[in-house]
Every structure is written in C-alpha cells, then in structure tokens.
C-alpha cells in the first residue's frame, strides 16, 4: 500500500506511465515474429528425389514431369527407382514380368515445390525424410534457449529490470541477425538458442517493469494491452512472411528493429520499487521525482525526501536487508502452494499452446490464413479475459480458460479428419482460451509474488512454461504412431491445471505485495474472514429454532 500511495502522489496513471507502456509494448509487437517464426522459415514443401546427375542419357531429353514419373514412385518422397521405369509413361503400362522395381534412398538430394516458399531451412539443408526430426529439434532448441533465459529473471532482481532489459534487446538484435547469415544448420540452431534466451528476458522484464510503475487499478488493463500487442504481432508476422518468402531475409527483417529498441531503452526508468528493495533509496527518490516532473506534478515530487520515502516504505526497506533466493519461493506455506500451482498452470498453458500454434500446416488450409485466424481469435479471447479478470477475478478466469481449452482440444479426438473446418474451429477456440490463460497468468503471477522475489518467481514460472514448449514438439512425434495421442495429452494437461488453479488466492483489487510476510499474512487474514462468514446464519438459525 505504501508505494501505491507514492505513485498516486506523483501522478498515478500519468504521461510517464503512458509513454513507458508504449515503449515497452513496441518490442512485444515483434515477439510473436520470433516465437512463431519457424511456422514459415521451417515450413515443409512438397518434395521428391532428384534424379541422378546426368542420369540415363535416354531420360535427359524428357520434360521434368516425365523424368519425375520414370524416376520417382508415385506419392514417394524419400526413395527413387534404381533405374528409369519407362512403362510408367504408358497409359496402361505394367511393370516388366509383374515385378516390383527396386528403389534406393535419395542419394542426390531432393527437389522442392517453391511456389509458396522460395527458401526455408528445410530446402536449404534438406531437413526431410531421415532428417525431418531436425525441424522439431530446431524449435525445441529455441525453446530451450527461452528456458535458459529464465536466468534473466533472477539477474534482474540483482542488477535491475531496465539494465537486463536493455541487454536483452541488444542480444535479440545481434543473435537474430546472425541467424539470418548462419552458414550451417548447427550454427543456425546456436544463434536461435541465444535468441530464445533474449526473448525470455524481454518478456519477463517488460511485464515487471510496467507493472511496478502502474497504479493498482490499471494493472489489469495494462497487462491486457501488452497481450494485445503480441496478438497484433501475429497478424504482422503473417503479412511480413507473405511479403518475404525467403527465410534469411525474413529472419533479418524481424530482427533489425531490436537495434532501435536497444537505443531508446536507455530512456526507460528503473523500477523505484526494486531500488528500494536493494537499498538504493536515493536513486529511488530521484526516479520518483523524475516521474513527477513528467506527469506535471513537479511540486509534489520536490516535496518528497528520503525521510518521507523511508516512512512510507519502512517495512519494505527492512525486508531489503534480508537476502532472498529461489528457496524463498517454497520456504513458507502460502508461497509454496502458490509456486506449485503456478508450475502446473504455466507448464500446461505453454505445452498446449505451442502444440497448436506451431503446427499450422497440420490443418491443411493456407498457412497465412490460418496464422491470421489464430491471431484474430486472441482479440475476443483476451477481451473476455480482461472483463472476467476485472469484474469476476483472476482465479476464476485462470481456471475457466484452461478447462475450456482442454475440453476443446479433447473434443477434436472425436472429429473425423476429413471435417477440416470443424477440426480447425475447435483448435482455434482452444487456442483462444489458451491465449486468455496466458493473458491472465502473466498478470496473476506478478500480483501473487512479493516485490523482493517477484522476478525470481517470474523466472521460475518462465522455466515451467518453456519446459512445456520444449515437450510439445516431442508429443507430435508420438502422433505418427497414434494419431489421437497428441490431442489427448494436449487436452488433458490444461483440464488438470485448471482444477489446480482453483487453489490459488484471489488478487483482484489488492495492492502488489512487497514482502514475503505480507503475502503470508494477507492470505491468512482472508481465510479467517471466509471462516467467519458462514457463522452468522448459523447463529441466527440457532436463536430462532426450526420452523
């Protein structure tokens, strides 16, 4: 409550907050372009074995279609005939002696249909047939980088939100650009791994830096606005990918803007909450006075001094003398329950989300149209989530979004594969619910953890989320043997975690907690209040007796 009152004193939701949110949201607009980029840079195209170089002299004069017919079995992508099969050129031709022609692997590489994608990592490094698993490996390595990037949460608790965010902008720009010039698949995966690390740091610190400068009543709105920026980024990705079908140029186009974000990030203001927590009260006072000037409250800012700051935040400054680690996430009963529940929620949300969002070609529609639809569903989904977050509560929104998403995915098991429209509609609805879940859990996690370990908690949540995104491609491989199994697993996980979310405490209309003790005490007080409520009708019924 203390810092919330200081924020109101220096202007509340003023010009500074508006500009900061806009500057922090611009990079978020480009985040989808990296996170979902492999839908386009690693898109699979129709391919077939390339005939032997020079081949049979008699086939050299044939047109390409005829050469394909005599060298490659119909419908076969990974093998070719050892010798040309001339009988296939005849309308009713049959194999000599009724024998089955011998085939061999594609020793001379593959030819690709480049009508949609002129160049992808698949066509450049032949990630097909026996190497097709490398496509999923590349995405899993990127997500592994996002997982490792969770360390930026802990680093920002030590070095500051803005400093780490600035570094992550630069790392994203440099590593993303290097990926577009990667000479080999291995080098490409390395740069993508480092890009994923930067992605994680940007998400974690953008959310925390914006929330820690926001008045209590604006947190949900600001969180949802940043979520919509990610949604708009999905539209942007579809348009840019359509305009730039070459994967190297596309990679470069989505990476260069981060150099600009790096340059203006020096204007961003460090979190005064964090500065107080690490004992840098003088700098916190300077930042508050700077905010007051920008918000047109210079006189009120000049009235602030160290003594005023200390009197308002005495409890927080006392807490800052205690060193906090990741162990504090599970040291006390309430935070332990919060951490365990959030682990389930983050893992299953990300697991199911990327299971759907990273396999757009599975729906057998135009990939650019599907990308637009998957982006468009986020608009009503997040709008509904902000309404329920604001007027019903975080806990209800979180649980309902996950359960509905899981049920929609499970329902797809019962739909025949030839009903493409219905299957796609259920997947789109499920993806919308998962987007609403993401929208809620980012805000919810920041509100559940106290300032002293908020970034550490966000880092832990990010870790569980990325474990889910790493596991998602592996589950797709199971689908080659049991087609219904991926939907069963993707659907069951959100349903279970939705039930688990019901055990989280509600944070609607409450100020951000500053200390561990405040979280423990607040939840205990809420429990005592809940226990006292049903006693009133009981006492009344005892006094009046049955009628």
Lowest mean pLDDT among 44-53, 95-104, 332-341: 95-104
Is residue 312 scored above 60 in pLDDT? yes
Counting beta carbons within 10 angstroms of the beta carbon of residue 305, is it exposed (0 to 12), middle (13 to 18) or buried (19 or more)? Answer: exposed
Whether pLDDT at 533 is above 60:
no
Domain ranges for the chain, please list them: 1-36+124-321, 322-525
pLDDT score, position 547 = 34
Bigger pLDDT: 58 vs 512: 512
Q: Does this model's pTM top 0.85?
A: no
Q: Which fold has domain 1-36+124-321?
A: Growth Hormone; Chain: A; (1.20.1250)
Local confidence band at 540 (pLDDT 50, 70, 90 cut-offs): very low
- Rounded to the nearest 10 degrees, the angle between the axes of helix 161-180 and helix 151-159 is 140
Work out the burial of residue 547: count CB atoms within 10 Å of its CB; fewer than 13 is exposed, 13-18 middle, 19 or more buried. exposed
Residue 413's pLDDT band, with cuts at 50, 70 and 90, is confident
Measured at the alpha carbon of residue 545, what is the angle toward residues 542 and 547, in degrees to the nearest 5? 145
The pLDDT of residue 453 is 82
| CATH number 3.30.1360.230 given to 322-525 | no
Looking at residue 524, its pLDDT comes to 62
Q: Is residue 228 pLDDT above 90, yes or no? A: no
The CA-based diameter of the chain, rounded to the nearest angstrom, is 106
Phi, psi (deg, nearest 5) at residue 488:
-65, -45
Q: Is the pLDDT of residue 531 over 60?
A: no
**Per-residue pLDDT at 61:** 57
Euclidean distance between CA atoms 483 and 413, whole angstroms: 9
Q: Do domains 1-36+124-321 and 322-525 have the same CATH topology?
A: yes
User: Between the CA atoms of 515, 519, 521 and 526, what dihedral angle is there, to the nearest 10 degrees?
Assistant: 150
* Cβ neighbours of 438 (radius 10 Å): 22
CB 145 within 8 A of CB 462: no
- Residue 227 has phi, psi (to 5 degrees) of -65, -40
């Amino acid at each position: 409550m203390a810092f919330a009152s200081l924020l109101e004193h220096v202007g509340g939701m003023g010009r500074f907050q508006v500009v900061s949110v806009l500057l922090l949201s611009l990079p978020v607009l480009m985040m989808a372009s990296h996170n979902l980029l492999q839908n386009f840079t690693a898109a699979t195209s129709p391919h077939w074995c390339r005939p032997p170089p020079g081949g049979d002299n008699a086939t050299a004069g044939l047109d390409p279609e005829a050469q394909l017919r005599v060298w490659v079995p119909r419908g076969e992508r990974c093998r070719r005939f050892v010798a040309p099969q001339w009988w296939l050129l005849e309308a009713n031709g049959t194999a000599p002696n009724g024998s089955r022609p011998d085939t061999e692997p594609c020793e001379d590489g593959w030819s690709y249909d480049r009508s949609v994608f002129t160049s992808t990592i698949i066509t450049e490094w032949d990630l097909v047939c026996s190497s097709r698993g490398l496509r999923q490996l590349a995405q899993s390595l990127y997500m592994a980088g996002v997982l490792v990037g969770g360390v930026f949460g802990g680093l920002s608790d030590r070095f500051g939100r803005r400093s780490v965010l600035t570094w992550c902008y630069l790392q994203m720009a440099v590593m993303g650009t290097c990926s577009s010039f990667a000479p080999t698949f291995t080098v490409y995966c390395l740069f993508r791994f480092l890009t994923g690390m930067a992605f994680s740091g940007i998400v974690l610190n953008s959310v925390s830096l914006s929330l820690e400068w926001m008045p209590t009543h604006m947190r949900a709105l600001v969180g949802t606005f940043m979520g919509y920026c990610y949604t708009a980024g999905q539209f942007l990705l579809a348009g840019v990918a359509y305009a730039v079908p070459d994967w190297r140029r596309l990679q470069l186009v989505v990476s260069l803007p981060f150099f600009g974000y790096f340059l203006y990030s020096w204007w961003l203001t460090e979190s005064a909450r964090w500065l107080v927590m690490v004992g840098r009260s003088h700098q916190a006072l300077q930042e508050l006075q700077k905010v007051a000037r920008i918000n047109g409250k210079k006189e009120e800012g000049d009235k602030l001094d160290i003594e005023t700051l200390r009197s308002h935040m005495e409890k927080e400054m006392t807490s800052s003398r205690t060193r906090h680690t990741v162990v504090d996430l599970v040291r006390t009963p309430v935070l332990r329950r919060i951490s365990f529940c959030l682990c389930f929620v983050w893992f299953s949300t990300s697991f199911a989300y990327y299971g759907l969002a990273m396999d757009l070609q599975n729906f057998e529609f135009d990939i650019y149209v599907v990308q637009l639809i998957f982006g468009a569903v986020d608009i009503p989904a997040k709008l509904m989530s902000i309404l329920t977050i604001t007027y019903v509560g975080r806990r209800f929104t979180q649980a309902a979004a996950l359960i509905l998403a899981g049920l929609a995915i499970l329902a797809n098991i019962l739909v025949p594969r030839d009903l493409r429209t219905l299957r796609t509609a259920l997947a789109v609805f499920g993806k919308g619910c998962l987007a609403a879940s993401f929208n809620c859990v980012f805000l919810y996690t920041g509100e559940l953890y106290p300032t002293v370990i908020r970034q550490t908690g966000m880092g832990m949540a990010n870790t569980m989320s990325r474990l889910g995104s790493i596991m998602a491609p592996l589950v797709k491989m199971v689908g080659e043997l049991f087609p219904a199994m991926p939907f069963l697993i993707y659907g069951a996980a959100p349903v279970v975690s939705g039930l688990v979310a019901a055990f989280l405490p509600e944070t609607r209309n409450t100020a951000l907690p500053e200390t561990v003790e405040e979280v423990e005490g607040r939840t205990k007080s809420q429990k005592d209040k809940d226990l006292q409520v049903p006693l009133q009708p009981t006492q009344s019924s005892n006094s009046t007796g049955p009628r």
